[in-house]
């Protein structure tokens, strides 16, 4: 899966949670919880969606690595590479 | 014959607009079936039948706004109807988690303001169009017989409206059935009444939640994401169990007296994106295993944010829990939602120095607060209630 595709999936899933947010304009190193106002239930739904769509399981202990757009991309990308 | 009435979905509700019928004459309904959708200040609410039987007659048409208590339909009870089955089927659970057939999404255009009761005369078609497009009929000059507003009048007005600057794009993306302005008015009415009528008292208690956190971490470690639990499931369950010993916090204050409730329906405060709040009920939260409670909570939050709350969820809550989650502040003091008599608040968990066995160590500390009705209980009982919640959270195996 290409880097662009991964970023697109992340963006789509965050958009499902925060329909009014313009994810493309969010600072890629900003904390998403503040940037687009997501709570722990939203974040869990994001993790569930990523698991379903990309087959990447994100254990709870790794949640802090995914709180920014760049962090989420790097984490998911690395996991996908490792799976190949 | 029983009448199916426009229900009161909260003390502040005076009238509702019928926007969708999900049954027709001749249909059989069970207790708990969603039969209609009503638009209120709180958004589109699914209304359930409290009466099993056969729909005899629909009395109120679509887009009619009627006062609470108005008969909407007639339901022939099973005994009256020539029941096709000799033996009555076992009673269905009153609150199905998901209806067998998900009712179609309602598409009511949010109406800026309910039209005055003595609204201008208008043809049904004109009324429908106005409703669909969110046009206030009182803003239109009728050209029909006796000054009645015709379809063409509304169309003409629409032409004007279309020329007006387009609404904010954000509005378009918002879930259908949620009108945040109306919701704000509903919150204002309920909270103003609460502060006017209920003599609140407030308590706070800090709990070392390391046991709960460790328990959650262990439990979630081996589970796929969709089966993981959140702390909120534990705190809601702890409150629901604690009221068994402290019934003075669970029930309704009505007609100058308190009736405690045997059932524990926990109103769960849910923030709506863009600035709204609803606290629909998690039914029988004290009876639900944590996994079940968690999946109901997920479903409830999703439906609430999509503007699909059920009538029973609006009016049944016997106590409310508000959790700020991992962000925000350490403590929140809620305002009681009348006619309930208590609201329990949870702040965010913070790591704080804590004395354990004479030594200081870092511990995750959660502040739980109680706002309760002094007409019903006193600080002493409230303190014991909070202590009980704390105790339950320190022994998560018992939740």
Q: Return the CATH number at A71.
A: 1.10.1200.10
Instruction: Kindly state whether residues B350 and B208 are assigned to the same domain.
Output: yes
Q: Quick check: B346 and B205 in contact, CB under 8 A? A: no
The distance of A58 to chain B (nearest Cα, Å) reads 8
Least confident range from B86-100, B196-210, B325-339, B363-377: namely B86-100
CA nearest to B171 within chain A: A20
**Same domain? B62 vs B162:** no
Least confident of A68-82, B81-95, B259-273, B332-346: B81-95
The CATH number for B17's domain is 2.40.50.100
Q: What is the average per-residue pLDDT within B83-87?
A: 45
Distance from CA of A48 to the nearest CA of B (A): 5
**How confident is the model over B263-269, as a mean pLDDT?**
97
pLDDT at B114 over 60: no
Residue B16 has pLDDT above 60, yes or no: yes
Final residue belonging to a domain, choices B22, B42, B77: B77
Closest CA to B364 of B335, B396, B397, B320: B396
Per-residue pLDDT of chain A (84 residues; tens, 9 = 90+): 788 899 999 999 999 999 888 998 999 999 998 899 889 999 999 999 999 999 999 999 999 999 999 999 999 999 999 887
Measured between CA atoms, the residue of chain A closest to residue B220 is A60
Query: Pick from B45, B57, B49: which is nearest to B16 by CA?
Result: B45
Same domain, B192 and B47: no
- The share of chain B scoring above pLDDT 70, in percent, equals 77
How confident is the prediction for chain B on average, in pLDDT?
82
Q: Which residue has the higher pLDDT, B45 or B310?
A: B310
B273 contacts: CB under 8 Å, gap ≥ 6: A18, A19, A20, A37, B174, B305
Same domain, B201 and B166: no
Cβ atoms of B41 and B13 closer than 8 Å: yes
For residue B175, list chain A residues with Cβ-Cβ distance below 8 A: 19
Q: Which residue of A has its CA nearest to B217?
A: A60
pLDDT given at position B212 = 97
Residue B165 pLDDT: 35
Higher pLDDT, B129 or B218: B218
Instruction: Provide the domain count of chain A.
Output: 1
B293 forms beta bridges with none
| pLDDT at residue B149, rounded to an integer | 77
Instruction: Search chain B and give the residue with CA nearest A58.
Output: B225
CB contact under 8 A, B221 and A59: yes
State both tokens at B44.
Answer: 């589109």
| CA B294 – CA B214 distance, rounded (Å) | 18
The Cα B281–Cα B10 span in angstroms is 12
- Of chain A, the end-to-end C-alpha distance in Å amounts to 10
Looking at the complex, report in whole angstroms how far the Cα of residue A41 sits from the nearest Cα belonging to chain B: 8
Q: Which helix (H) or strand (E) holds B76?
A: strand B71-77
Digit-coded pLDDT (tens) for B163-214: 333 333 443 344 556 788 888 998 999 999 999 999 999 999 999 999 999 9
CB B75 within 8 A of CB B54: yes
Q: What is residue B132's predicted lDDT score, i.e. its pLDDT?
A: 63
Q: Is B284 left (phi over 0), alpha (psi -120 to 50) or beta?
A: left
DSSP state letters, B187-235:
HHHHHHHHHHH--EEEEEEEEE-HHHHHHHHHHHHTS-GGG---HHHHH
**Whole-structure pTM value:** 0.71
Q: What is the total residue count of chain B?
A: 399
Q: Do the Cβ atoms of B228 and A44 come within 8 Å?
A: yes
* Res A78: pLDDT: 94
B196, B168: one domain = no
Same domain, B201 and B310: yes
Nearest to B298 among A33, A41, A58 (CB): A41
Q: How confident is the model at residue B158 (pLDDT cuts 50, 70, 90)?
A: low
pLDDT at residue B110, rounded to an integer: 37
pLDDT score for B119: 45
Residue B121 has a pLDDT of: 72
Query: B168 to chain A: nearest residue by CA?
Result: A20
Q: B163 with B199, same domain?
A: no
Inspect the interface and report whether the beta carbons of A40 and B228 lie closer than 8 Å.
no
What does the pLDDT read at residue B326? 78
Which band of pLDDT confidence, cut at 50, 70 and 90, is reported for residue B49? confident
pLDDT of B85: 45
Nearest-neighbour CA in chain B from A1: distance (Å): 22
Tell me how many domains chain B contains: 3
Cross-chain CB nearest to B225 (options A18, A37, A48): A48
Q: What percent of chain B has pLDDT over 90?
A: 48
Q: Domain check: are B137 and B199 in the same one?
A: no
Assess whether B293 and B235 both reside in one domain. Answer: yes
User: Closest to A60 (Cβ–Cβ): which among B217, B273, B274?
Assistant: B217
Question: Closest Cα partner for A40 from B326, B296, B223, B212?
Answer: B326
Span B141-154, mean pLDDT? 71
For residue B227, give the chain A residue with the closest CA. Answer: A48
Q: Say if residues B43 and B183 touch (Cβ distance below 8 Å).
A: yes
For residue A39, give both structure tokens: 């709570």
- Angle made by CA atoms A77, A80, A82, in degrees to the nearest 5: 110
β-sheet bridge partners, residue B259? B252
* Domain ranges, residue B218: 180-398
Q: What is the pLDDT of residue B80?
A: 65
Q: Please provide the size of chain A in residues.
A: 84
The DSSP code for B85 is S
3-class DSSP assignment, residue B362: strand
Task: Report the CATH number that the domain containing residue B377 is assigned in CATH.
Answer: 3.30.559.10
Contact criterion met (CB < 8 Å) for B220 and A40: no
pLDDT at B111 over 60: no
- Please name the member of A20, A41, A61 whose beta carbon is closest to the beta carbon of B230: A41
Whether A20 and B173 lie within 8 Å, measured CB to CB: yes
Measured distance CA(B275)–CA(B171) in Å, rounded: 13
Q: Does A47 touch chain B (CB under 8 A)?
A: yes
* Partner-chain residue, chosen from B228, B231, B327, that has the shortest CB–CB distance to A33: B327
The pLDDT assigned to B170 comes to 41
CATH number at residue B156: 4.10.320.10
* Residue (of B222, B331, B279, B232) closest to A40 by Cα position: B232
Domain carrying residue A26: 3-83
Is there a contact between B298 and A45 if contact means CB atoms under 8 Å apart? Answer: yes
Q: Which residue of A has its CA nearest to B305?
A: A17
Q: Which of A11-25, B3-17, B166-180, B349-363 has the highest mean pLDDT?
A: B349-363
Q: Please, which pLDDT band fits residue B235 given cuts at 50, 70 and 90?
A: very high
Distance from CA of A31 to the nearest CA of B (A): 12
**Domain co-membership, B138 together with B216:** no
- Locate tokens 């789509």: which residue? A12
Note whether A60 contacts B221, CB cutoff 8 Å: yes
Confidence of residue B300 (pLDDT cuts 50, 70, 90): very high
DSSP-assigned letter for residue B149 = B
Is the omega angle on the peptide bond into residue B339 within 30 degrees of 0, that is, cis? yes
Summarize the confidence of residues B207-236 as an average pLDDT: 96
Q: Would the CB atoms of B225 and A44 count as touching at under 8 Å? A: yes
Q: Quick one: pLDDT at residue B234?
A: 97
Residues of chain A contacting B301 with CB distance shorter than 8 Å: 41
| Interstrand relation of B34-40 and B43-48 (parallel, antiparallel or unpaired) | antiparallel
pLDDT band at B95 (very low <50, low <70, confident <90, very high): very low
Indicate whether B310 and B391 sit together in one domain.
yes
Cα separation, B106 vs A3, in Å, equals 39
In chain B, what residues touch A39 (CB-CB under 8 Å)?
Answer: 271, 325-327
Determine contact: A2 vs chain B, CB below 8 A: no
Per-residue DSSP letter, B36: E
Nearest to B230 among A44, A57, A59 (CB): A44
Task: Examine residue B191 and state whether it is found in any structural domain, yes or no.
Answer: yes
Residue with the larger pLDDT of the pair B256 and B26 = B256
Strand B342-346 and strand B319-323: the pairing is: parallel
pLDDT value of residue B42: 67
**B89 within domain boundaries:** no
Domain end (from B139, B173, B207): B173
Same domain for B202 and B329, yes or no, is yes
**Does residue B100 belong to any structural domain of this protein?**
no
């Amino acid at each position: 899966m290409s880097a662009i595709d991964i970023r697109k999936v992340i963006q789509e899933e965050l958009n499902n949670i925060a329909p009014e947010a313009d994810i493309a304009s969010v600072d890629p190193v900003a904390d998403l919880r503040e940037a687009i106002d997501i709570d722990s239930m939203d974040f869990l739904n994001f993790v569930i969606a990523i698991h379903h769509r990309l087959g990447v399981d994100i254990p709870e202990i790794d949640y802090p690595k995914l709180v920014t757009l760049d962090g989420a991309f790097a984490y998911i990308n690395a996991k996908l590479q490792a799976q190949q | 014959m029983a009448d199916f009435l426009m229900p009161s979905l909260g003390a502040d509700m005076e009238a509702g607009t019928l926007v969708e019928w999900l049954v027709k004459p001749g249909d059989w309904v069970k207790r708990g079936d969603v039969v209609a959708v009503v638009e209120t200040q709180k958004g589109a609410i699914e209304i359930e039948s409290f009466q099993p039987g056969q729909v005899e007659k629909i009395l109120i048409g679509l887009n009619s706004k009627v006062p609470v208590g108005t008969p909407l339909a007639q339901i022939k009870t099973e005994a009256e109807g020539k029941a096709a089955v000799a033996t009555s089927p076992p009673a269905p659970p009153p609150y199905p988690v998901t209806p067998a057939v998900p009712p179609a999404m309602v598409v009511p255009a949010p109406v800026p303001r309910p039209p005055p009761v003595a609204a201008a005369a208008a043809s049904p078609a004109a009324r429908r169009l106005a409703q669909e497009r969110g046009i206030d009929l009182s803003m239109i000059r009728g050209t029909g017989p006796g000054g009645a507003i015709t379809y063409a009048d509304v169309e003409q007005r629409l032409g004007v409206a279309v020329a007006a600057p387009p609404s904010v794009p954000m509005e378009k993306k918002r879930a259908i059935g949620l009108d945040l302005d109306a919701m704000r008015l509903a919150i204002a009415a309920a909270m103003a009444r609460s502060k006017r009528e209920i003599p609140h008292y407030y308590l706070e208690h800090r709990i070392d939640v390391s046991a709960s956190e460790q328990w959650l971490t262990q439990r979630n470690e081996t589970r796929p994401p969709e089966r993981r639990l959140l702390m909120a499931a534990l705190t809601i369950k702890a409150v629901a169990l604690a009221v068994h010993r402290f019934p003075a916090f669970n029930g309704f204050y009505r007609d100058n007296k308190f009736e405690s409730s045997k059932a524990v329906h926990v109103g769960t405060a849910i923030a709506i994106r863009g600035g709204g709040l609803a606290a629909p009920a998690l039914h029988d939260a004290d009876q639900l295993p944590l996994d079940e409670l968690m999946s109901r909570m997920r479903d409830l939050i999703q439906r609430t944010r999509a503007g699909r709350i059920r009538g029973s969820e609006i009016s049944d809550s016997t106590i409310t829990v508000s959790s700020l989650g991992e962000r925000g502040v350490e403590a929140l003091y809620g305002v009681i939602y009348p006619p309930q008599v208590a609201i329990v608040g949870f702040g965010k968990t913070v790591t704080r120095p804590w004395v354990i066995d004479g030594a200081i160590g870092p511990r995750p500390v959660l502040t739980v607060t109680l706002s309760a009705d002094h007409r019903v209980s006193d600080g002493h009982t409230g303190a014991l209630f909070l202590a009980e919640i704390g105790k339950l959270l320190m022994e998560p195996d018992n939740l």
